[in-house]
């Protein structure tokens, strides 16, 4: 198939003699979406685990998310260049193998054990996920009729959300379940402290070794799979036919506005998800803090574990599960509905639910914030397909810019944390509301394709 550089640049044509094997190709690429959702959500398990092992404060342990999401900013646009050089398929394989290497690096990090090495392993893992996202998201968009691109990407992103639901459950079972009791490390001798850290850190060895092997096998499967071939190239690169001289993605407002929409969307999604436990712990919201009770330190630790089990086992999965359900539903709706208008509608609904949660308390505040996940569902894939629309040979670069904007997941939660310290966690949700207002504007106005501005 090919992507021409004209105004109908997203038209896909199968090369002569090739079958339109879109279904099996889409199914194969969908496994990639599941894997990076699964691995990204494991950070939520690593954060409390590493915090206890290395006795970190909240600022230091949140370097896990900062290092992970900052990698998108560093490598998003370079990954777009890689797509132009070696093509979609080979970039997917490269991304999977890099993720496999990153997973293997958890083993030496645990053997030392070293928190900086853990962060380094996460950066390598995130580098692979970045390359994977830059290649897989636009490839799904062009793998079929352009009118249903948003529908296809929402379907594959639904499996990404399935990964985010399964990941924490897997991590809690194979990592946290095998961890020992939480100790006061300040009272341990240097030898006992080192032994404790080695024992606790070793719980990641087998899970991440298994993940690495799965990623490498999946990379080999992608390499051997016969995807529908691009007509003008043999390596799945965007076509260079009719590429205007001096054209640049920066000359296309819908791409630049789309990158900002991705930035604020991912920031709002991660901020809400990251603050759920603390939000529900407020006496006037979920009252979960009362489950802590009093008593000894060990009793409080046991109560905290029960509290986390309740939140992770019931309420938090509802937020991410709603995101998954909404993407399956949205995939069907977007077969008929206009993506821009649907994006504006769900953004308004999400923002309204956050306002309701801010202005209420108790169960109303809890359920309104959880329902935001349902309306977050189609926002990322819809913004993405609108942002790369009709970019032709610049699709890879535009995709790289949009993936770079995922760095919003590192910045906006930090800004919300600063707000929470000053005006309280309840009122700090004003920041996601502002994000949803911008996303609604992008769906109605900012995503319109205009004549490119002069470079």
**How do residues 267-313 score in pLDDT, each as one tens digit?**
998 888 777 767 777 777 765 544 444 444 444 444 444 454 444 44
**Residue 124 half-sphere exposure toward CB, CA atoms < 13 A:** 17
Residue keyed to tokens 């506005």: 257
Residue keyed to tokens 């060990």: 298
169 in a structural domain: yes
Which residue did the predictor score with more confidence, 416 or 184?
A: 416
Q: What DSSP state is assigned to residue 427?
A: G
Structural domain that includes position 439: 22-446
Q: How far is residue 139's CA from residue 223's CA, in Å, rounded to a whole number?
A: 15
130 in a structural domain: yes
Q: Which two tokens stand for residue 135?
A: 């290649």
Residue 413 has pLDDT above 50, yes or no: yes
1 in a structural domain: no
Among 291, 275, 304, residue whose Cα is nearest residue 426: 275
452 in a structural domain: no
Which residue did the predictor score with more confidence, 206 or 149?
A: 206
Question: What is the predicted pLDDT for the residue at 454?
Answer: 53
Dihedral pair phi/psi, residue 143, rounded to 5°: -85, 60
Which residues neighbour 323 within 8 Å (Cβ) at sequence distance 6 or greater? Answer: 161, 164, 269, 373, 374, 376, 377
10 in a structural domain: no
Q: How far is residue 188's CA from residue 109's CA, in Å, rounded to a whole number?
A: 21
pLDDT in tens, 394-407: 887 888 899 889 89
Among 272, 301, 293, 263, residue whose Cα is nearest residue 408: 263
Among 51, 98, 105, residue whose Cα is nearest residue 78: 98
229 in a structural domain: yes
Which residue did the predictor score with more confidence, 239 or 440?
A: 440
Confidence of residue 158 (pLDDT cuts 50, 70, 90): confident
14 in a structural domain: no
Looking up residue 138, the CATH number of its domain turns out to be 1.20.1250.20
Question: What is the predicted pLDDT for the residue at 259?
Answer: 96
Which residue did the predictor score with more confidence, 430 or 320?
A: 430
Least confident of 2-16, 105-119, 126-140, 399-413: 2-16
Which residues neighbour 424 within 8 Å (Cβ) at sequence distance 6 or greater? Answer: none
What are the DSSP calls for 349-407, one per residue?
A: HHHHHHHHHHH--HHHHHHHHHHHHHHHTTHHHHHHHHHTTT-GGGHHHHHHHHHHGGG
Residue 166 has pLDDT above 60, yes or no: yes
Question: What is the predicted pLDDT for the residue at 180?
Answer: 54
129 in a structural domain: yes
Q: Which two tokens stand for residue 440?
A: 């609604």
Residue keyed to tokens 């580098």: 127
Domain count, the chain: 1
Count of Cβ atoms closer than 10 Å to residue 100 Cβ: 23
For 269-291, b where at least 16 C-beta lie within 10 A, e where not — what string?
bbbbbbbbbebbbbeebbebeee
Q: How far is residue 211's CA from residue 105's CA, in Å, rounded to a whole number?
A: 12
Helices (H), 87-148: 88-104, 106-111, 115-142
Average pLDDT, the chain: 80
Q: How far is residue 87's CA from residue 236's CA, in Å, rounded to a whole number?
A: 5
Question: What is the predicted pLDDT for the residue at 201?
Answer: 85
Q: How far is residue 406's CA from residue 401's CA, in Å, rounded to a whole number?
A: 9
pLDDT in tens, 245-260: 566 788 889 999 999 9
Residue keyed to tokens 């046991």: 302
Question: What is the predicted pLDDT for the residue at 46?
Answer: 85
Question: What is the predicted pLDDT for the residue at 309?
Answer: 44
Question: What is the predicted pLDDT for the residue at 195?
Answer: 83
């Amino acid at each position: 198939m090919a992507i021409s550089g004209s105004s109908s640049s997203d038209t896909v044509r199968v090369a002569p003699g090739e079958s339109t094997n879109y279904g099996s190709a889409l199914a194969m690429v969908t496994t990639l979406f599941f894997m990076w959702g699964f691995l990204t959500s494991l950070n939520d398990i690593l954060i409390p685990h590493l915090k206890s092992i290395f006795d970190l404060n909240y600022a230091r342990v949140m370097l896990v998310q900062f290092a992970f999401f900052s990698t998108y900013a560093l490598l998003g646009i370079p990954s777009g260049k890689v797509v132009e050089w070696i093509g979609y398929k080979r970039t997917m394989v490269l991304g999977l193998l890099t993720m496999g290497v990153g997973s293997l690096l958890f083993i030496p990090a645990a053997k030392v054990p070293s928190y900086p090495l853990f962060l380094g392993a996460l950066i390598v893992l995130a580098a692979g996920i970045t390359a994977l996202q830059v290649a897989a998201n636009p490839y799904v968009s062009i793998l079929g009729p352009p009118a249903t691109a948003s529908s296809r990407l929402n379907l594959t992103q639904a499996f990404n959300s399935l990964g985010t639901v399964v990941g924490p459950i897997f991590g809690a079972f194979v990592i946290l379940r095998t961890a020992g009791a939480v100790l006061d490390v300040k009272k341990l001798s240097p030898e006992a402290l080192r032994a404790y850290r080695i024992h606790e850190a070793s719980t990641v060895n087998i899970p991440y070794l298994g993940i690495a092997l799965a990623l490498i096998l999946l990379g080999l499967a992608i390499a051997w799979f016969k995807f529908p071939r691009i007509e003008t190239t043999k390596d799945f690169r965007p076509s260079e036919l009719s590429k205007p001289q001096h054209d640049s993605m920066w000359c296309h407002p819908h791409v630049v506005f789309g990158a900002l929409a991705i930035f604020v969307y991912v920031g709002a999604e991660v901020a809400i998800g990251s603050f759920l436990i603390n939000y529900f712990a407020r006496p006037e919201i979920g009252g979960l803090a009362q489950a802590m009770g009093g008593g000894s330190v060990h009793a409080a630790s046991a109560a905290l574990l029960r509290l986390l089990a309740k939140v992770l086992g019931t309420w938090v999965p509802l937020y991410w599960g709603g995101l998954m359900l909404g993407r399956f539903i949205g995939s069907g709706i977007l077969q008929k509905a206009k993506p821009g208008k649907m994006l504006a509608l769900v953004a308004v609904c999400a923002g309204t639910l956050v306002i309701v949660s801010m202005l209420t308390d108790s169960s109303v505040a809890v359920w309104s914030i959880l329902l935001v996940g349902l309306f977050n569902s189609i926002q990322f894939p819809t913004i993405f397909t609108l942002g790369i629309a009709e970019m032709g040979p610049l699709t890879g670069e535009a995709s790289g810019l949009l993936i770079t904007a995922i760095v919003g997941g590192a910045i906006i939660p930090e800004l919300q944390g600063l707000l929470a310290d000053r005006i309280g966690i309840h009122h700090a949700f004003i920041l996601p509301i502002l994000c949803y207002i911008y996303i609604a504007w992008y769906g109605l106005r900012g995503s319109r394709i205009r004549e490119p501005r002069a470079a």
